[in-house]
Structures are given as C-alpha cells and as structure tokens.
Amino acid sequence: MTSSVTSATPATSEPMVLLQDLGVSFHGGRRPVQAVSGVSLQVQRGEVVALIGESGSGKSVTMRTLLRLHPERHTRIAGTVRVAGRDVLAMGTRALADFRGKVASMIFQEPLLALDPVYPVGAQIVESIRRHEAVSKAEAQGRALALFERVRIPSPERRLAAYPHEMSGGMRQRAMIALALACNPQLLLADEPTTALDATVQIQILLLLRELQRDLGLSVIFVTHDIGAAVEVADRIAVMYAGRIVEEGTARELIRAPRHPYTIALLRSRAHGAMARGARLDTIAGAPPDLSALPPGCAFAARCALATDACRAAQPPVVEFTPGHRARCLRTDETAALAPLAA
C-alpha cells in the first residue's frame, strides 16, 4: 500500500459532519415537497454512521445535501451543514468543486449510471486525481492501479482499460469505491452501495468498506434500508422516517433496546436465525406519508398501534434514554416493553 491512498486526519475537536436543524425542500411542482425536516446529526472523525429507513425517508436527500448535488434552482436548504470544519452552504462554485472528491466523496447506488460510459474506468480515476492534485499522468495511473489492487479487482492492469459496461456489477462497485477514494477524502458517503448486488457480493462489498474505513481512518455515512447491513458496518445508527431522524443510538443499543415504534417495526420485519421455518415476516401496515402534505403530528402515527390523539396533534419531543440514545416519541414507556420482542 503506497502513501498515495492514505488519509490524513486533522487535529480538531469539531466533528467531521455537523448538521443542525437541516431542512431540504424541493420546489417546481404543484406543491413544495419537504424532503428533510429538522435533522440534526454529528459524525465524529473515524466513525461510521448508518442512516436507515424506507425509500422516501430522506436518507439520500440528506447525503446529497452534504455535497450540494441537488439542483440549485428548485432546492431550498435551511440550517447548518458543516463538513471537516467547512460551511458547505457558503461555498462558491470553485470551492465546491475542490471540496467534492477531495474532502468528501460519494459511492453511488448504481455505478453504471454514475460512471461515464464513454471513458475507460481507469481514465476517469486518473482525471479525478489530476483535477485535485498536481501530479503527472504516469503517477496518477500508478495510483489508480494501486487503488484497483486495494479494492481487490482481479487483473487490475487490464481492468483499468475496461469501460463500465464491460465489468460485472460487483467489479463496477469496487471501481466506484476506488474512484471515491482516489483523492484521499476524509468523509466517504455510501448511498446504498450494495442494493443492486446479489447476496454474496453484498457481503464482500460491506466487508471491504469496513476494512478500508479502518485502515484509512475515514468517517463514513452509510445509507441503507437493511438494518442487518447497518449493524454489520456501523458504530451508530440513525433511523429516518418522513424526513426526520426518529431514533439514534449505537448499533448495539438500537438492536437490543429500540425505543421508537418504527425502529421496532423495522427489526420485526427482517428475517433472523430464530424464525421458525415457513414463518411469515411481520410487515409494516400502510405507507409513508405524502411529503408535500405532512401531518402536524408524528408522521408515523397513521401506521403505529400505540398512537394517541396527542401523537397526531403535534411533533413529539426527543427523549434521551442514555447518552447518545434518543428517540422522537411520546410512548417510550410502552415501547420499552415491546423492544425485546424486536431483537
């Protein structure tokens, strides 16, 4: 492993990611869509945080906001977004271009769409390196080869000359990881990087990401709808529903003592080793709310068996159970009794 793929960590007490009261809304349709509402989250240096929840819960919107990838014309962003001590919302065009890839980088869900189809994968990595660093083409090519070896792509010299469509799904995802690491970022954003892969390749990619994170000292935000995958890779988990974080805690706490009804429902709806053969999985009744017409109270109330009129009337407060383990729910006394059944 060469020094070209190591990641330096600045000595500072500020977290790698600081989100405070983040709101993201999209305009341009008949009604504005409030995709993210009041999200506050910190990611420490060298920490892996998973964002989990159903499709449409605001996970990917939050991730893309960290890189300001949403179309400026139709997007309204409120609150604080700081990454590695930088105010992302205050960046101009040039500063933002320097920030993307060098400070924070993203692994997209579908690399076939994220990679340019008309250039070899190796050429795209070389271009990224030379965009951010004053190195020769030969040195950038050497670093690209080292990255392919690091992410365990077989026959790396030959694969550097391959086009995205000439690689398998697993190889493309490894190439996407190599591209994301090309300029030694401090923060890696992984947006459901295993969704399109078969189960065996999913496990390989998850193990690879965790290994790279430990070796390089990266901070990582990992987006998934699979709570089992989140437990495998994350130090902490934040559960999102209808644009809000409804529960947050260490992976161990959320598995052993979940306190929000939605977290409990997610845990019950997954297969696990204790299930009887042929047993039916629990499901979450109903559907997520319309983000253009959110209810005044808890957005999960319409699907929650414990909901009362108070839950539907106003947003519930955040209740903290242990340092760092908190949930946005009025019925945490009742959920405490249900929690062991979810594990």
Instruction: State both tokens at 291.
Output: 């983000």
Measured in whole angstroms, how far is the alpha carbon of residue 318 from the centre of its chain? 22
Model pTM?
Answer: 0.89
What CATH class has 15-103+185-272+281-342? alpha beta
Residue pair 232/211 in contact (Cβ under 8 Å)? The answer is no
Boundaries of every domain in the chain = 15-103+185-272+281-342
Cα(114)–Cα(249) distance, rounded to whole angstroms? 32
Residues 6+ apart with CB under 8 A from 260: 239, 246, 247, 300, 327, 328, 329, 332, 335
> How much is the pLDDT for 339?
56
Grouping H, G, I as helix, E, B as strand and the rest as coil, residue 279 is: coil
> What string of pLDDT tens digits covers the 343 residues of the chain?
333 444 444 445 799 999 999 999 999 888 999 999 999 999 999 999 999 999 999 999 999 999 999 999 999 999 999 999 999 999 999 999 999 999 999 999 888 889 999 999 999 999 999 999 999 999 999 999 999 999 999 999 999 999 999 999 899 999 999 999 999 999 999 998 887 678 888 888 888 999 999 999 999 999 998 888 888 889 999 999 999 999 999 999 999 999 999 999 998 887 654 445 666 777 888 899 999 999 999 999 999 999 999 999 999 999 999 999 999 999 988 887 765 555 5
Burial 299-328 (b: 16+ CB within 10 A, else e): bbbbbbebbeeebeeebbebbeeeeebbbb
318 forms beta bridges with 328
